[in-house]
Structure 1
Amino acid sequence: MIRLAVPADLPAIVEIYNATIPSRQVTADTEPITVASREEWFVEHRPDRYPLWVWCDAQAQVGGWVSVQAFYGRPAYAATVELSLYIAPTHQRQGIGTQLLDHGLAEWPRLGIQTLLGFVFAHNEPSLRLLERFQFREWGYLPRVAQLDGCDRDLVILGRRLTP
């Protein structure tokens, strides 16, 4: 089941996010974040503009989430958003990311969203493949812009237009 996130979901959302940090493959954060540090971020995800949806299993446990947020914060970019998608380690490779993206792609255009951007480390092959299956294309490549545990990492900017 996919539904809008509620405040009670925030600990699970943070737990899923934090589970990605040790891999050094998904996020540029290098230390776990706290629920308190994400409270304002959560409030910014208004259902009418920047929804945050969660995928829940049969026991109503959150197993993944997808969100969009403002891209650049200036009026000319209002129809462009940055995409975030995270799946719990116990639920990966079960099609949940596909379900969440399908859901978002059906809903985002009615919110006035025209362009989706994904910022993905070049060594994160699973995320790159998933977004490419959804017609995201490489729109930019930033070599060696991140450093994780002393290793330089490249960032791929993927984009997709939702309207012609």
Structure 2
Amino acid sequence: MKKIEFKIATQEDLPFIVNVYNQTIAGHTVTATLTPVTVAERQPWFDAHKPDEHPIWLAFVDGKRAGWVSLSPYHPREAYRITAEISIYIDQRFRHLGLGTKMVQYAEQAAPKLGLKNIVCLIFGANLPSLGLFEKLGYKTWGTLPNVALLAGKLMDLKILGKAIH
């Protein structure tokens, strides 16, 4: 097994984060973003993630940046602060190594210290690898929004999966 480590993302990591995010756009099953984004466009998103509330972590495999995982506010209203949305993105060179499992587990372990009780993820119904990953880790379907997105000319369902964190 390769050595996997995590660290809080810094401003210097944002170009890597954007690059990995942009790798997923062309596949039309991972993100609702239709065209590549710039570092400047992602800056407000990055700035909104505070390490002691909603962190972004970089994942390293054998010392090399391999992906990132974030916990974002699920909803801006205060009563929802106990729930966060998880996102994971893995550099194409590091996919299929079991890194996604480690990334989700790392975020889950950190969640209680952040005051979180639930983690949700929003996954397109056509994204079978991500659905399989989260279901394997105990996430359940909490809802489905049918045909809410149009990607590459196809209507997509959005599945909401969730897990209570103890």
Interval containing the TM-score (normalised by the shorter chain): over 0.9
Aligned to 1:47: 51
CA distance in 2, matches of 1:20, 1:89: 9
Other structure's SS at 2:37 match:
coil
Amino acid at match of 1:29: T
Aligned to 1:27: 31
Tell me which residue corresponds to 1:139. Answer: 142
Looking at structure 1, the residues matched to 117 and 126 of structure 2 have their Cα atoms a distance apart, in angstroms, of 27
1:15 aligns with 2:19: yes
Find the partner of 2:119 among 116, 120, 134: 116
Determine if the alignment matches structure 1 residue 85 to structure 2 residue 94: no
Distance 2:45 2:64 in 1: 21
Task: Report if aligned partners of 1:57, 1:63 keep a CA contact under 8 Å in 2.
Answer: yes
Q: How many corresponding residue pairs? A: 162
Query: Secondary structure in 1 aligned to 2:24?
Result: helix
| Structure 2 gap segments, 5+ residues each | none
In structure 1, the gaps of 5 or more residues are none
Per the normalisation by structure 2, the TM-score is 0.94
- Alignment partners' CA distance in 2, 1:69 and 1:14: 16
Q: Tell me the TM-score normalised to structure 1 length.
A: 0.95
Instruction: State the distance in 1 between where 2:103 and 2:17 align.
Output: 14
Kept in 1: contact 2:71–2:107 (CA 8 A): no
Q: Indicate if the aligned counterparts of 1:79 and 1:113 stay in contact, CA closer than 8 A.
A: yes
> Does residue 1:74 correspond to 2:71, yes or no?
no
1:96 has 2:99 as partner:
yes
Aligned partners of 2:153, 2:101: CA distance in 1, in Å?
A: 33
Give the superposition deviation at 1:54: 0.7
Deviations 1:83-111 (A, max 9, x none): 11111111111011111112111111111
Choose the corresponding residue for 2:156, options 145, 153, 156: 153
Q: What is the identity, as a one-letter code, of the residue corresponding to 1:139?
A: W
Task: For residue 32 of structure 2, give the secondary structure of its aligned residue in structure 1.
Answer: coil
Amino acid of the structure 2 residue aligned with 1:105: E
**Inter-partner Cα distance in structure 2 for 1:72 and 1:98:** 25
